[in-house]
Chain A
């Protein structure tokens, strides 16, 4: 392994064995959560894992943080095997999960944070100083002596985030850290994360998210993950660059009942089309080989007596990258996954 890699995996896989459900005979007994994951995250990098719920992001984080054993392949964090050398890995890492109550509700914010600092061997005086700094940074100073059970979900999540940063980890894992936070708080957290990684080149941060903006704004590199497999891995700019030679249009149209995406899929030059019905109108998103293809799209709409309410050309986003790779949006993929009828 290269010394520059903080995180490295090779052919990493994880299969969950499911209990047989007597009522649902014929259901699979195994769930492949990860398959053949090869990743190299360099020291100093802010690396993002982008994918819908159920893509395998959390499973990967659990393996990398020593909580879960891989079924195949291997993974190293800070140069140590996460399965065989857990004792060496743990002092160098920390983890924050979003969207849950992760603290002792009967303890105050300050007590919760102090307690975890002790588990990481920090001196109390040093810990309190750093805790107070971080509480101020996250706007929690006036809540320092509030029992964490009395905090709102967002404030509790801020406390949870402080807990992760407070111990000065070499490699930090943030699993959906802004889940449950409002827009302003999410922006603050993203700003702090960026500053934290920039402050010290020895720090590495792996972030999972299903929020495109978060991955796009924050990450040096992004791996797009779906159904346990990494579909693409590059800088956000490079991932989007592939699509920049194409033309992306959003069309708001009337007559949602008569319209289907299939009407456009056979047109030459239409790479992807996505139809989203709204109340009173529909939105069509096209990824076209070139702008000239748009005339064929407009003709098709005219033939079907569909009125174009609005037409905009826009820059590609990571969502478009996902749609190109998977064939449908993240929301649709999540829905398909939860219904068990994915491809």
Chain B
């Protein structure tokens, strides 16, 4: 029954994600949105570096940003389901009354965002490889490392999303900004947009404490190993060590997510927040 609920939640998520317009417009939007994001980044990079696209910093930033789309898609996708169901559709109480595991339902709802996010990431990377000389060669890619890293990252982001969903349960007004705020905060310190070495020494520990930092490093190494090694931030760690650190952090994220969600869920029932509507 858990699997069926998960599948149904994913189906619902897909309907919500894709049903706001006709399929053609949805396809166009799905292509243009990530390309527009990449274009902004490329223009900014070009202005700052005076068009030095050959430097290893460009693929570093480009790939970091491309994969960072997953953070918004998966993490916010999980927590957004709380807001969407409670405030917009007013169905959260019916989901709570149903014999389903709410965390599994929420993660199921994010599957659609993972799929559309994956499409965006793919479009961005292919565009980068074809037109911006991002040095990705299929034969050089460590596909096993890439697949394992990607899977671990998605699990990590889903768990972080669950933590966020718990907090969202307790927030009423403006809780829809929470996901964006967290994703934005992590963006600065996770090595997505610049290597941690650029940060002042006293800020770097924040980056080292964040699992997304290791995840992005693993993805870069798997796709463009030589570029990743050009930056000293995590160069002294082997792939195995990075995977072990990421695995440990995922385990920790799982514990935090379960405890936080349970506590928040309990508090929400204590305070009567499960069906509270404030925004709409």
Q: Is the CB of A95 within 8 A of B93?
A: yes
The reply to whether the CB of A238 lies closer than 8 angstroms to some CB of chain B is no
Q: 0/1 per residue, A79-111, Cβ < 8 Å to B? A: 000000001001101110100111111110001
Chain A min CB distance to B17 (Å): 10
**Contact at A67–B8, with CB atoms within 8 Å?**
no
B1: interface (CB < 8 Å): yes
Stretch at the interface among B33-41, B221-229, B270-278: B270-278
Q: Are B98 and A90 in contact (CB under 8 A)?
A: yes
Determine how close the nearest CB of chain B comes to the CB of A332; give it in whole angstroms: 28
Complex contact B269–A106 (CB within 8 A): no
Check B238 for interface membership: any CB of A closer than 8 A: no
A68 within 8 A of B: yes
Query: Once the chains bind, are B94 and A118 in contact (CB under 8 Å)?
Result: no
Assembly CA distance A269 to B91 (angstroms): 52
B residues 196-250 near A (Cβ < 8 Å) are none
Q: Which one of B7, B12, B16, B19 has the highest number of Cβ atoms from chain A below 10 Å of its Cβ?
A: B12
Contact B99 A120 (CB under 8 A): yes
B61 within 8 A of A: no
Q: How large is the interface on A (under 10, 10 to 19, 20 to 34, 35 or more residues)?
A: 20 to 34
Known: A90-B99, A106-B15, A115-B11. A67 touches B4 (CB 8 A): no
Contact present for B8 and A90 (CB under 8 Å): no
A193 at the interface (CB under 8 A from B): no
Cβ–Cβ contact B15 & A66, under 8 A? no
Chain B stretch 167-213: residues in CB contact (< 8 A) with chain A? none
Residue contact A119 to B91, C-beta cutoff 8 Å: no
**Does B97 lie within 8 Å of A90, measured CB to CB?**
yes
Whether the pair A65, B97 counts as a contact (CB closer than 8 A) is: yes
A-B pair count, CB < 8 Å, reads 78
A66 and B89 within 8 A (CB): no
CB-based contact B98/A104 at 8 Å: no
Across-interface contacts of B90 in A (CB, < 8 A)? 100-102
Which chain B positions have C-beta within 8 A of A111? 15
Give A268 to B235 CA distance when docked, in angstroms: 97
In the complex, what residue of chain B is closest to A104 when comparing beta carbons? B89
Q: Does B96 contact A (CB under 8 A)?
A: yes
Assembly CA distance A17 to B271 (angstroms): 8
In the bound complex, do residue B89 and residue A118 qualify as a contact, i.e. CB atoms below 8 Å apart?
Answer: no
Docked complex Cα distance between A102 and B7 (Å): 21
CB atoms of B4 and A121 under 8 A apart:
yes
A163 within 8 A of B: yes
Chain B residues near A67 (CB-CB < 8 A) = 93, 96-97, 269, 272, 274-275
Q: 12 extra interchain contacts, Cβ-Cβ under 8 A, other than A67-B272, A104-B91?
A: A65-B97, A67-B93, A68-B272, A90-B97, A93-B97, A101-B90, A102-B94, A118-B4, A118-B7, A119-B5, A119-B100, A120-B99
In the assembled complex, 22 residue pairs joining A and B whose CB atoms fall closer than 8 Å, in A order, are A62-B272, A62-B275, A66-B96, A66-B269, A67-B97, A69-B269, A90-B97, A91-B99, A95-B93, A97-B93, A101-B89, A104-B12, A105-B89, A106-B20, A115-B8, A116-B98, A118-B4, A118-B5, A118-B7, A119-B5, A119-B8, A120-B99
A interface residues, Cβ below 8 angstroms from B: 16-17, 62, 65-69, 87, 90-91, 93-95, 97, 100-107, 111, 115-116, 118-121, 163
